[in-house]
Amino acid sequence: MEWTREKRYLPYSKWDADTLLYLQAQAANSPYQMHYHLHPISGLINDPNGFSYFNGEYHLFYQSYPFGAVHGLKSWVHFKSTNLVNWINLGLAVEPDTMADSHGAYSGSAKEIDGKLFLMYTGNHRDENWIRTPYQIGAWMDKDGKVKDKTILFKNPEHITEHFRDPQILKQGDTYYAILGAQDKAEKHGHIDVWKSKNLKNWEELGFLDMGTDPMGYMIECPNIVRVDGHVVVIFCPQGLDKKIAKYEDIYPDMYIIADDIDFENHKLINPGKLHNLDKGFDVYATQAFNAPDGKAYEISWVGLPDTTYPTDDENWANCLSQVKELAIKDGKLIQRPVSAMNDLHTDEKEVKDQVIAEKAGQQYELKLTIKANQKGNLHLAANTDLTGGLQINFDTENGKLVLDRSKTDRQVSVDYGETRETDLAKNSDLKLDIFVDHSLIEVFVNDGEAVLTGRYFEDQANTKLAFDQPVDYSGKLWQMKTIL
């Protein structure tokens, strides 16, 4: 089947229900499907949207194209949770059903305001000549889950191109602010554009956020501001970023800056630090973060990349979301940790201590290890019997290096961008690893969240051996993880 433009933008009402039921069953039956991470009900998912707390529960949406593994006509699918781990699927919530979002209800954010959830997102509109206009839209979700009263808030101003999207709604004092990804017309550089409003109706542009950096490639997507332990963290995706400014390996990076504070009115960060990669692994993009009413900062990421094919494209579905992580700052560095309710998914706790941890570890587990200092070795995951295939984590706790290697897995992804990712460790030190495996997703938390390496991998699901390649001095625990969806 050829995915023509016409086909990708066909209204959902022109697809037949039998096809959708078939695609839903196909995604559900895939051996690669995740079972304790949010994943597609059918088709392709991308950015998390509207991550928020409303009416006593956490809410989350994701970008969805239900009819195949392509970026077609996008909508928002809705989930809610009481603990950030067990999610209820509430189905299609924001449809591309107005002029302003006719070609996609694109990414955005949400905030509880006066007993309703205010959604602010980008409507993608194209005219008959395929000229794009990005409308920033406000909408309101009731407690019964119905999204109503879509209103156009503003368009891209004269000095910004059609690349103007992904608003995050924020409040400081009695003023609302929105930050958006933008490309300026003059230089075609990426920026975060700051807007303000007193009433959510009339909006005024304040200007590009001064982050104390060189130009940020040709576009910034999915900017987020979140307050963490007395600092301001800006998370964003600078597409086309010059690698001299900051090194990265994926096709597009997902980065962050820590600052002392933000001055919205003067659209500048106060004492911003350097650019860092948010994740040291593969496939993490479009992270969305927010401050819950208790002040805690949470983030969730799309695990998937733009302009990238994955093996499940053959099964008409693609991508997933990461687990939710809680953010902290320690010694000036961003710390990302599993939320406490992840422990509620545990079953079958096992102490582990042998070279072969499990001949059959299964497809849904958490493995927590402390590897003693001054050792080198390889941890094999999703491996075959003789450990020649599968994932590898190469560690060197003497010289301080950890490498996640997916080169030996069954079906490769994005080999042009490298098959390994690495992170530095403290030298001559014990190494703590907290590893989550979910069928075709691995998330490795290093030293209590000082680094995270995430990645998709595609291995024969019969291969679930979990073993070191030589005797290693370590201690650890292994849990099977319950299914949430």
- How far is it, in rounded angstroms, from Cα 400 to Cα 136? 46
Which residue lies nearer to a second copy by CB, 90 or 356? 90
Report if residue 39 touches a second copy, rule: CB under 8 A: no
Report if residue 482 touches a second copy, rule: CB under 8 A: yes
Among 19, 161, 291, 420, binds a second copy (CB under 8 A): 19
Which residue lies nearer to a second copy by CB, 66 or 138? 66
Using the contact rule CB under 8 A, the part of the chain among 20-28, 110-118, 206-214, 228-236 near a second copy is 20-28
Q: Give the active site residue among 16, 47, 307, 438.
A: 47
What residues have CB less than 8 Å from 273, skipping those under 6 apart? 257, 258, 259, 332
Which residue lies nearer to a second copy by CB, 56 or 471? 56
Find the shortest distance in angstroms from Cβ 71 to a second copy: 18
Buried b (16+ CB within 10 A) or exposed e, 59-90: bbbbbbbbbbbebbbbbbbbbbbeebbbbeee
Residue at token pair 């309101």: 140
The amino acid at 363:
Q
Which residue lies nearer to a second copy by CB, 21 or 426? 21
Among 1, 6, 29, 295, binds a second copy (CB under 8 A): 29
47 flagged as catalytic: yes
Interface map 146-165 toward a second copy (x if CB under 8 A): x-------------------
Which residue lies nearer to a second copy by CB, 387 or 484? 484
**Which residues does residue 77 pair with via DSSP β-bridges, in sequence order?**
62, 92
Query: Which residues from 126-145 bind a second copy, rule CB under 8 A?
Result: 144-145
Find the shortest distance in angstroms from Cβ 459 to a second copy: 17
Which residue lies nearer to a second copy by CB, 90 or 426? 90
Residue at token pair 């390996």: 249
Among 28, 113, 292, 403, binds a second copy (CB under 8 A): 28
- How far is it, in rounded angstroms, from Cα 267 to Cα 233? 14
Q: What φ, ψ does residue 13 adopt, rounded to 5°?
A: -70, -15
Among 2, 18, 174, 351, binds a second copy (CB under 8 A): 18
Among 12, 132, 240, 477, binds a second copy (CB under 8 A): 12
Among 15, 213, 384, 477, binds a second copy (CB under 8 A): 15
Find the shortest distance in angstroms from Cβ 432 to a second copy: 29
Find the shortest distance in angstroms from Cβ 385 to a second copy: 20
Residue at token pair 């990645």: 455
Among 3, 11, 330, 355, binds a second copy (CB under 8 A): 11
Query: Which residues from 73-102 bind a second copy, rule CB under 8 A?
Result: 78, 86, 88-93, 95
Phi-psi region of 67 (alpha: psi -120 to 50; beta: other; left: phi over 0): alpha
Dihedral angle of Cα 194, 197, 202, 204, to the nearest 10 degrees: -30
Residue at token pair 């983030």: 299
Find the shortest distance in angstroms from Cβ 292 to a second copy: 20
Q: What φ, ψ does residue 25 adopt, rounded to 5°?
A: -65, -40
52, exposed or middle or buried, with CB in 10 Å at 0-12, 13-18, 19+? buried
- How far is it, in rounded angstroms, from Cα 189 to Cα 215? 6
Report if residue 37 touches a second copy, rule: CB under 8 A: no
Among 3, 5, 21, 333, binds a second copy (CB under 8 A): 21
- How far is it, in rounded angstroms, from Cα 90 to Cα 440? 24
394, exposed or middle or buried, with CB in 10 Å at 0-12, 13-18, 19+? middle
Which residue lies nearer to a second copy by CB, 296 or 482? 482
Report if residue 22 touches a second copy, rule: CB under 8 A: yes
Secondary structure of 285-314 in HEC code, one letter for each residue: EEEEEEECCCCCEEEEEEECCCCCCCHHHH
Which residue lies nearer to a second copy by CB, 61 or 195? 61
Rg over alpha carbons for the chain, rounded to the nearest Å, is: 22
Among 271, 407, 475, 483, binds a second copy (CB under 8 A): 483
Query: Do residues 390 and 408 lie in contact, with contact meaning Cβ atoms separated by under 8 Å?
Result: yes
Report if residue 6 touches a second copy, rule: CB under 8 A: no
Report if residue 461 touches a second copy, rule: CB under 8 A: no
- How far is it, in rounded angstroms, from Cα 352 to Cα 369? 9
Using the contact rule CB under 8 A, the part of the chain among 16-24, 120-128, 210-218, 423-431 near a second copy is 16-24
Q: With contacts defined by CB under 8 A, how many residues of the chain interact with a second copy? A: 37
The amino acid at 87:
W
Report if residue 35 touches a second copy, rule: CB under 8 A: yes
Q: What are the residues binding a second copy (CB under 8 A)?
A: 11-22, 24-29, 31, 35, 66-67, 78, 86, 88-93, 95, 144-146, 482-483, 485
Active site amino acids: 47
